[in-house]
Amino acid sequence: MSQQSKLRQSRQQWKQKAKERAEHNRYLRKELERLRKERDDAKQALKEARKQLHQKETQPTHLKAHRVWLTLTLFVGARISFRAVSRVLHVLAEWLGIGKAPCPQTVINWVMRLSVVRMQSVKLLQGAARHLIPFTNGLIWMMDTSITLGTGKLLGVLAIDAHHYQLAGGAPGFHHVRCLAVAVSPSWSGERLAELLERVIAVVGRPAAYLKDGGSELQKATDLLSERGLGSPVIDDISHAVANMLKRRYEKHPQFAPLLSACGRVSSRLKHTVLACLTPPKVQTTSRFMNVHRLVRWADRVLGFLPAGRAKAGSVLAK
């Protein structure tokens, strides 16, 4: 075999090997590309699955209706305040799966809607005949103007059986009291109160007695009802009566203002310190004399526990 034939044959073998090697490389490249694409798709699918799982975990498992029902149950059944309902739901939100807990204002709005629905669902009662009104219904009406609602002031009229202590033999609870009327007005005068009470009397009858605080508008309303022939005995709340007596006796006492000033200074100095347990009790300004005994008892105990000169000079306790 000539040298040229050997070269030609070797060249053909080399070409055949190159083609086989190229086909194999092309196959490997295609497989590698396919594996890379599958890997990227798998990573993207895993990312989407994790995202959906996270959204599902953070998404509330309860409907809004369930959340509203739980909120109203805590307020109506447990009888806790709006802020307390919000705090309880905030603590239990993760375990109950209710998502974001409602704020106190949302709780107030839901309770107001429930009140409106209940008032609208009550059938209107026909007023009693005029000649039947002088007979009492055996209930004691408790009246008071409470906190403001928006720009108005809230008035509530509650009723309790006049023979409660003979029948129940214990202090009255929420289940012993019935709500007769709730109204909101920018201001409550004696005439406006008398008109409202007269409308209530026309529906449920005249009460056995009125229980009220020492407010002048409530006193004027009961006087107007007496002039119209719808009067009933008036019982002044003993706590308000005693508070008014204390106010007349001690409001201008020379030592009362220094006592309040000292309580304020002590409270500001001891708060957020290790002696915060010694801060004076908080007393509201509008009803200060109903709880003034707390301040007096606190001052007497603190002065007895901390005689002057026993604390280290310059310490918080000495101050």
pLDDT for 135 = 46
Percent of the chain, pLDDT > 90? 0
pTM for this model (two decimals): 0.50
For 164-198, how does the pLDDT look when each residue is reduced to its tens digit (9 = 90+)? 877 777 888 878 888 888 888 888 888 888 888 88
Task: Determine the average pLDDT of the residues in 128-141.
Answer: 57
For 234-281, how does the pLDDT look when each residue is reduced to its tens digit (9 = 90+)? 887 777 777 777 777 777 888 877 887 888 887 887 777 777 777 787
> Is pLDDT of 68 > 80?
yes
For 31-56, how does the pLDDT look when each residue is reduced to its tens digit (9 = 90+)? 888 888 899 998 898 989 888 887 76
B/e letters for 165-177, b = 16+ CB within 10 Å, e = fewer, are: eeeeeeeeeeeee
Helix, strand or coil, per DSSP, at residue 318 = coil
Confidence band for 125, pLDDT divided at 50, 70 and 90? very low
Instruction: Give 163-172's long-range contacts (Cβ < 8 A, gap of 24+).
Output: 163/138
